[in-house]
Amino acid sequence: MRMRAVCKVEPKPGAELIEIDMPEPEPDEVLVKIKAASICGTDVHIYEWNKWASERVKRFPQIMGHEFCGEIVKTGREAKRLKVGDYVSAETHIPCNNCIQCLSGQQHLCKNLKILSLDTDGAFSEYIAIPEVIAWKNDKSIPPEFASIEEPLGNAVYATTVHDLIGRTVAIFGDGPIGLFSVGIARLSGAALIFCVGLNPVRLKIAEKMGADFALNNNEIDTVSFIMEKTEGNGVDVVLEMAGVQETIDQGLKVLRKGGAFSAFGITPDSVNVDINNGIIFKGATIYGINGREMFNTWVKTTNLLKYKRLDISPVITHKFKLEDFKKGFELMMAIPKVSGKIVLFP
């Protein structure tokens, strides 16, 4: 059988919707009929074909996309945990389950890690075959547009809930979807005061809807002075750095109070310089490196937040398109200033 898929067909900017053979699941895989898939910043890098993408993607044609949900329609003979009809999303970290990290309960840090849609075909298609080990069973009450973004939502859940936020002051640097999710999670977790720092008026409005007390435009205000003033010169208890740029890393360490904690999630395009003495050592700061999601502790939390309707992520989902209109989604994602939050595609 044939299916439609958004593919990187050659090493240059753009992508094409083409017909290819429907995958057949391997013995340890399940075949999923996709209900919804969302566009990630990684997909934008591949679509734009920047330096990182040209060095990372080597197979052509390759199906793009890694955030999705769908229904299992076939299982491999070795797949025993799930069954046909199950409604699933997927962890994008494919672990080997043999290295010391996997055997120590740290599958998300697997030494031999493979990444869905980078080392395998992705999910901007009608069907996808994935290892059963990364398939996560959802409650069928969760809408597809929500279930399709459980993977990036899980990033925010991990980065935010690694801290005890009850009664704490929090500064979130970055107004991308994961930063916006973190605002909502921080509010739900009992944070007393939440700052969200970004560059895009549309997204900062979403931050307010998600529960930010102050949505600060880094182009228009002295962010460090503002946060220090509002915290009576102490700084915040917790910083979530979601942007991955020198400026916000510096700002985050400056507004972090002595004895505070810092989640480092934003991936930097190049190396950065850190004032390790004043920013970390003399402050007695705790730094958490956030790599993906904990498998599968984070998934349990994320699913329950959606299943029991404790977290409303609808403000972050700004656009929905049919799969064949994927180019409209990418155009919006690449617009400067940013005019979209999360964009979901439906086959």
Which residues partner with 342 through β-bridges? 317
- Catalytic residue (choose from 42, 161, 169, 248): 42
So what's the pLDDT on residue 270? 83
Contact 209, 315 (CB under 8 A): yes
CA–chain centroid gap for 267, Å, is 12
So what's the pLDDT on residue 255? 98
Q: How many CB atoms lie within 10 A of CB 59?
A: 11
Active site residue 42: yes
Is the alpha carbon torsion for 176, 182, 188, 190 positive or negative? negative
User: pTM value?
Assistant: 0.96
Distance (Å, whole) CA 219 – CA 294: 34
Which amino acid, one-letter code, is at 231? T
Contact 119, 135 (CB under 8 A): no
Active site residue 45: yes
Mind listing the pLDDT tens digit for each residue in 286-312? 999 999 999 999 999 999 999 999 999
Q: Which residues in the chain come in under a pLDDT of 70?
A: none
Which amino acid, one-letter code, is at 276? I
Which amino acid, one-letter code, is at 18? I
Mind listing the pLDDT tens digit for each residue in 223-238? 999 999 999 999 999 9
HEC readout, the chain: CEEEEEEECCCCCCCEEEEEECCCCCCCEEEEEEEEEECCHHHHHHHHCCHHHHHHCCCCCEECCCEEEEEEEEECCCCCCCCCCCEEEECCEECCCCCHHHHCCCHHHCCCCEECCCCCCCCCECEEEEEHHHEEECCCCCCHHHHCCHHHHHHHHHHHHCCCCCCCEEEEECCCHHHHHHHHHHHHCCCCEEEEEECCHHHHHHHHHHCCCEEEECCCCCHHHHHHHHCCCCCEEEEEECCCCHHHHHHHHHHEEEEEEEEECCCCCCCCCCCHHHHHHCCCCEEEECCCCCCCHHHHHHHHHHHCCCCCCHHHEEEEEEHHHHHHHHHHHHCCCCCCCEEEEEC
Distance (Å, whole) CA 56 – CA 58: 6
CA–chain centroid gap for 163, Å, is 18
Mind listing the pLDDT tens digit for each residue in 65-85? 999 999 999 999 999 999 999
